[in-house]
């Protein structure tokens, strides 16, 4: 492998998955986006298309158009496909708010949703984020519509329902739990309890949205190891690196590159074999889409710039995968 090889080539060569999250519109309309994904990544995650809101225009209907387009693109290019996400408290359908359900109706609705969605993609999605962000920032079970109706057992049921219709590997996914800290301690306990109850969970996704905060890579490695020791696979599922606005270093692209390198090294050292960044290039990062975010954080957190040209972080990652 030489320095002329693409990120995808060097990753594939050492059995590593390097991924990006995709939106169907850019895939259809933007050739440089499409080419970048095809040439540089061997793993993909639909960014929004598999969330309940976009998928469920009405209570009894589904719209798989965008999700199918992204999953089909992944399969056609021989990529690893992560499904995101079956159960979450955000991005619920608009009609949901006005629905006056009983606990039993909600449970049936969620079971049918999981059976339909995970079942549809049983041959095409390799891994699912079954439950996203069930733990609150203070480490307690987050109060959500799902927890309200079923208590903590909603996690058990969600994983069981998914395992009834797919052989994909099944993950719990969360943010702010990348290093050893109070939140990851709580998640560690939650997942240990799920395993004790024989819930079919295979792994944990560490989102790794580094917004202003860059935890010590050693602590991230230690965190990865303790979940692996539970028998869980660990993947980095939503990485990006931004700085607090007004407090960014002058050489922020270099510093960003150094942090991407450190995280890739932590992956190689621990045997974590999957790193997905949240977006493809800076122009479509979620940090540009939320109104107040550009004021809070720098908005160029990814490996490719607005024109899909590779940034220092891209070269740092490629070099690490060649030499590390
Ligand atoms: C969370 C969710 C993702 C996405 C990101 C940023 O991390 O898991 O689906 O919404 O926030 O937008």
Give me the pLDDT at residue 3, please: 62
Ligand 1 center from residue 202 Cα (angstroms): 21
Residue-range definition of the domain harbouring residue 28: 7-323
- The rounded distance, in Å, linking the Cα atoms of 189 and 185 is 6
Please compute the mean of the pLDDT values over residues 194-212 and round it to a whole number. Answer: 98
1 lies in some domain: no
Q: What is the band of 324 on the pLDDT scale with cuts at 50, 70, 90?
A: confident
Give me the pLDDT at residue 2, please: 54
Tell me the per-residue pLDDT of 133-179, one tens digit each, with 9 for 90 and over: 999 999 999 999 999 999 999 999 999 999 999 999 999 999 999 99
| Ligand 1 binding pocket includes 21 (Cβ within 6 Å) | no
Rounded to the nearest 5°, which phi and psi values hold at 206? Answer: -95, 120
- The rounded distance, in Å, linking the Cα atoms of 11 and 168 is 22
Please say whether the dihedral angle defined by the alpha carbons of residues 263, 268, 269 and 270, taken in this order, is positive or negative. Answer: positive
DSSP assignment of 263-305: HHHHHHHHT--EEEESSSBGGG-HHHHSTTHHHHB-S--SSB-
- The rounded distance, in Å, linking the Cα atoms of 95 and 118 is 22
Residue with CA at minimum distance from ligand 1 atom 8: 132
Tell me the per-residue pLDDT of 68-126, one tens digit each, with 9 for 90 and over: 999 999 999 999 999 999 999 999 999 999 999 999 999 999 999 999 999 999 999 99
Residue 16 has pLDDT above 90, yes or no: yes
Catalytic residues: 133, 238
55 lies in some domain: yes
Give me the pLDDT at residue 1, please: 55
Query: What domain count does the chain have?
Result: 1
Q: Kindly give the number of the ligand 1 atom that is closest to the alpha carbon of 286.
A: 12
Q: What is the band of 62 on the pLDDT scale with cuts at 50, 70, 90?
A: very high
Q: Say how many CA atoms lie within 13 Å of 269 toward its Cβ.
A: 15
Q: What is the band of 293 on the pLDDT scale with cuts at 50, 70, 90?
A: confident
Q: Kindly give the number of the ligand 1 atom that is closest to the alpha carbon of 238.
A: 7
Residue 290 has pLDDT above 90, yes or no: no
With a CB cutoff of 8 Å and minimum separation 6, the contacts of 310 are 303, 304
With a CB cutoff of 8 Å and minimum separation 6, the contacts of 312 are 253, 254, 256, 257
- The rounded distance, in Å, linking the Cα atoms of 276 and 181 is 22
> Among all chains, which residue has been given the structure tokens 């002058």?
250
- The rounded distance, in Å, linking the Cα atoms of 10 and 100 is 52
59 lies in some domain: yes
The preferred substitution site among 238, 285, 290, 299 for testing ligand 1, maximizing ligand atoms within 8 Å of CB, is 238
Mean of per-residue pLDDT scores for the chain: 97
Strand partners, 16: none
End-to-end C-alpha distance for the chain, whole angstroms: 13
Token output for 129: 């984020």
Give me the pLDDT at residue 84, please: 98
**Burial (CB count within 10 angstroms: exposed 0-12, middle 13-18, buried 19+), residue 200:** middle
**Burial (CB count within 10 angstroms: exposed 0-12, middle 13-18, buried 19+), residue 130:** buried
189 lies in some domain: yes
- The rounded distance, in Å, linking the Cα atoms of 308 and 304 is 5
Q: Above pLDDT 70, what percent of the chain?
A: 98
| Ligand 1 binding pocket includes 238 (Cβ within 6 Å) | yes
Rounded to the nearest 5°, which phi and psi values hold at 89? Answer: -95, -10
Give me the pLDDT at residue 15, please: 97
| Ligand 1 binding pocket includes 286 (Cβ within 6 Å) | yes
2 lies in some domain: no
Give me the pLDDT at residue 257, please: 98
| Ligand 1 binding pocket includes 293 (Cβ within 6 Å) | no
- The rounded distance, in Å, linking the Cα atoms of 152 and 125 is 26
**Burial (CB count within 10 angstroms: exposed 0-12, middle 13-18, buried 19+), residue 171:** buried
Tell me the per-residue pLDDT of 206-257, one tens digit each, with 9 for 90 and over: 999 999 999 999 999 999 999 999 999 999 999 999 999 989 999 999 999 9
Q: Kindly give the number of the ligand 1 atom that is closest to the alpha carbon of 51.
A: 9
Query: Which CATH number fits the domain that encloses residue 61?
Result: 3.20.20.80
| Ligand 1 binding pocket includes 171 (Cβ within 6 Å) | no
Measured from the Cβ of residue 254, the count of other Cβ atoms closer than 10 Å reads 14
């Amino acid at each position: 492998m030489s320095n002329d090889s693409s990120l995808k080539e060097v990753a594939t060569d050492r059995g590593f998955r390097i991924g990006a999250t995709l939106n169907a519109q850019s895939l259809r309309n933007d050739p440089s986006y499409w080419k970048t994904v095809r040439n540089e990544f061997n793993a993909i995650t639909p960014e929004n298309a598999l969330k309940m809101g976009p998928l469920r225009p009405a209570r009894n209907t589904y719209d798989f158009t965008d999700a199918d387009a992204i999953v089909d693109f992944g399969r056609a290019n021989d990529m690893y496909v992560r499904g995101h996400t079956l159960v979450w408290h955000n991005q619920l359908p608009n009609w949901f708010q006005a629905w006056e359900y009983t606990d039993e109706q909600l449970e049936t609705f969620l079971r049918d949703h999981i059976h339909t969605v995970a079942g549809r993609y049983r041959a095409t999605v390799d891994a699912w984020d079954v439950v996203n962000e069930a733990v609150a920032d203070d480490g307690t079970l987050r109060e959500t519509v799902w927890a309200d109706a079923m208590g903590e057992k909603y996690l058990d049921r969600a994983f069981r329902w998914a395992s009834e219709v797919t052989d994909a590997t099944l993950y719990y996914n969360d943010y702010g739990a990348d290093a050893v800290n109070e939140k990851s301690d709580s998640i560690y306990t939650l997942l240990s309890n799920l395993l004790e109850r024989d819930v079919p969970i295979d792994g944990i996704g560490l989102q790794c949205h580094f917004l202003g905060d860059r935890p010590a890579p050693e602590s991230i490695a230690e965190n990865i190891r303790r979940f692996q020791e539970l028998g869980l696979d660990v993947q980095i599922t939503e990485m990006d690196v931004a700085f607090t606005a007004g407090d960014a270093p002058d050489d922020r692209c270099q510093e960003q590159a150094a942090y991407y390198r450190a995280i890739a090294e932590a992956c190689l050292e621990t045997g974590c074999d999957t790193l997905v960044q949240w977006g493809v290039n800076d122009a479509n990062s979620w940090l540009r889409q939320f109104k107040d975010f550009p004021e809070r954080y720098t908005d160029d957190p990814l490996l490719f710039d607005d024109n899909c040209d590779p940034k220092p972080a891209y070269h740092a990652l490629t070099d690490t995968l060649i030499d590390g």
